[in-house]
Structure 1
């Protein structure tokens, strides 16, 4: 059962203790689609995140095609206090081409591979990365239930599933979490998955809470994205929509200033105040995790939420959801 223990913690079903409601996201640490990464800096980032109170790290095999998990494993090997590790299954790749594959044998092999890369005996939370429409959901769930019974997984989750798909999963295995895109600019999850999560005593891991840096306060009209940076294919970062979103960012920054908070803290707090949520704080440099606790121990008011909604209605009346990120079917 997922429930708020304090303002800052939440219990995920299957885990022996609660987790901070800010977790470390390691997509960028893998380097792929983020213009590369420095392993030594990444390890220092993980260590600093744990020192700042983070006790859940979210990764995935596809982040750098195994590289993110390997870096997380190296960082874990020198930590005396081990955080919970959440990883994923259900995506395969061939020559850099990623596709969905949740066949039972692929799920089992994926878990075994992740255990080796991470250097652990048990994965705290295994999540199906994307639904595979070519494989019955109940078969995927049943295989994960077996792996859990074998002690290789403590808790099960899904990512990017519809509520109908989650109901099918629940018929074959217990479901503790759903991981979905959720931030001030991308709010579809607020109306779809979040109500289901609340009704089923689950926790929602919100990915992209800073909207790929838009809500960090550091992106300007002069920002350049190069190489394989996924923002080159994100419509929000292309003219003329980029100007609309930057205008909204400026107004959100003014609201944050009024409250004596950073825009980053305001964006994370917005996610946390919605309910049983965990914000995935993506970072690959130590300085990016120094302000983690700025988003804790306070709340936005109903008036703040209305001001944010008014800004969005005025500046981004036709919001763009992150559908461009979905990988193809097998």
Structure 2
């Protein structure tokens, strides 16, 4: 298979340059647990190394993935070639006996950063995100500590994930953001109304996670039983009951269109996200080289205005059935409070 190298371009306006498509590492150790035919850490590390060969420099991880095991794996993979990668990790979600909580305190941010540096085996983090805003800590306080870590050289650039527009503005005013991470795909488009315009106004890059709809848009999942019994996606509303059946109809329409263009459904879905602008970067996740290579092939799928119109007809913003998360009030960017005029 001949695959064109992934191009690099500026992410945001603070000087960070990354590959147009990155690699989401979460599923290598966390959340998606289908291990049939998978070589474990060895194959995951081989996937990361193959990504670099193909021009993919941005690796996306978090301390909560595992917790901690994902950063440890990434640390093993980048050993000896650290300077060739842009490592993005996150803080702010903490696993407790009673569940996940959000902590944006200055103490937590500093301690989490120091711990991530050790697990990654590095003395700096290229891009450090607040994974979720802590409703009990002003975001200005969180990013004051981010700024202090930048001043000390422990992190180079900062970002925020699943934050509402007002919090993006507030964080950016304290410590200019290079990236906002948000869920964006053919079937997750709620960010288009308010988040994307704010990012573009402020010159902040957009990093789209789950651009394949957590794998659904790849076309490989045709029934709930295709997911392992302990796969977290079984708990997501879009993967359950009638919602699954309705959403599968959308995916089948994408597959049909992709076949006509000579590409896979996943490649078509990724091409759609990339077509939204040069300020948009994707981080599809995989732990297998063959899917990495397939995903990179999506960059070579050209979409005409007619193609984009057809995809809009297939997957308009309001056609997907079910929420993005089981607990949207907690994990979605607007969980903290309702949108107001200040958010727009």
TM-score, normalised to structure 1, is 0.91
Q: Report the counterpart of residue 4 of structure 1 in structure 2.
A: none
SS in 1 for 2:315: helix
Range moving further from structure 2, 110-119 or 286-295: 286-295
Are residues 318 and 46 of structure 1, via their aligned partners in 2, closer, same or farther at CA, if it must alter by over 3 Å?
closer
Matching residue within 305, 308, 315 for 2:308: 305
Q: What is the CA-CA distance between 1:242 and the residue it aligns to? A: 0.9
Q: Work out the CA distance in 1 between the residues paired with 2:182 and 2:176.
A: 18
More moved, 102-111 vs 253-262: 253-262
State whether structure 2 residue 249 is matched by structure 1 residue 247: yes
> Match of 1:30?
29
Residue 79 of structure 1 aligns with which residue?
Answer: 81
User: Deviation per CA, 1:149-206, whole angstroms, max 9, x where unpaired?
Assistant: 1001110100000111111112211111100011101111122211111111111110
Counterpart-to-counterpart distance in 1, 2:303 and 2:194: 22
**Offset at residue 9 of structure 1 (A):** 3.1
* Whole-angstrom distance in 1 between the partners of 2:141 and 2:270: 36
What is residue 287 of structure 2 aligned with on the other side?
284
Q: What CA distance in whole angstroms lies between the structure 2 residues aligned with 1:92 and 1:42?
A: 25
- Larger deviation: 177-186 or 222-231? 222-231
Cα 1:96–1:207, aligned 2, differ >3 Å: closer, same or farther? farther
Partner of 2:338 in structure 1?
A: none
Deviations 1:205-261 (A, max 9, x none): 101001111111211126432343121111111111111111111111111112222
Q: CA separation of 1:313/1:135 partners in 2, compared to 1, >3 Å: closer, same or farther?
A: closer
Question: Matches of 2:184 and 2:239 in 1, distance apart?
Answer: 17
1:22 counterpart SS class? coil
Residues 164-179 of structure 1: matches in 2 within 5 Å?
A: 164-179=166-181
Whole-Å Cα distance in 1 between the matches of residues 230 and 14 of structure 2? 36
CA distance in 1, matches of 2:151, 2:216: 41
Q: 1:102 and 1:33, CA in 2 relative to 1: closer, same or farther beyond 3 A?
A: farther
Report 1:97-116 matches (<5 A).
Answer: 97-116=99-118
The 3 A distance-change label for structure 1 pair 290 and 31 is same
Q: SS of 1:242's equivalent?
A: helix
How well do the aligned residues superpose, as a CA RMSD in angstroms? 2.5
SS in 1 for 2:122: coil
What SS is found at the alignment partner of 2:129? strand
Which residue of 133, 144, 147 maps to 1:145?
147
Over 6 Å off, 4+ runs: none
C-alpha contact 1:59 1:86 (8 A) present in aligned 2 = yes
Equivalents in 2 of 1:291, 1:176: separation in Å?
28
Q: 1:164 to 1:171 in 2, by over 3 A?
A: same
* C-alpha distance after superposition, 1:46-97 (max 9, x if no partner): 1111112100001000011000000000001143762110000111112482
Distance 2:327 2:288 in 1: 24
Q: TM-score, length-normalised on structure 2?
A: 0.87
Instruction: Tell whether 2:10 aligns with 1:11.
Output: yes
1:126-166 deviation line (CA, Å, top 9, x unaligned): 00001110001110010000000100111010000011111
Per-residue deviation, 1:297: 4.0
Corresponding residue SS for 1:248: helix
Q: Counterpart in 2 of 1:3?
A: none
Task: Give the aligned partner of residue 92 of structure 2.
Answer: 90
- Are the aligned partners of 1:9 and 1:21 in contact in 2 as well (CA < 8 Å)? yes
Aligned pair 1:296/2:299, yes or no? yes
Aligned residues of 1:13 and 1:155 also touching (Cα < 8 A): no
Residues 129 and 158 in structure 2, CA contact (< 8 A), matched pair in contact too: yes
Q: Secondary structure at the match of 2:158?
A: strand
SS of the equivalent of 2:22 reads strand
Say yes or no: does 1:233 pair with 2:235. yes
Which segments of 5 or more consecutive residues in structure 2 lack a partner in the other structure?
A: 1-5, 336-344
1:25 and 1:287 map into 2 onto residues whose CA distance is 15
Contact 1:35 1:227 in 2 (8 A): no
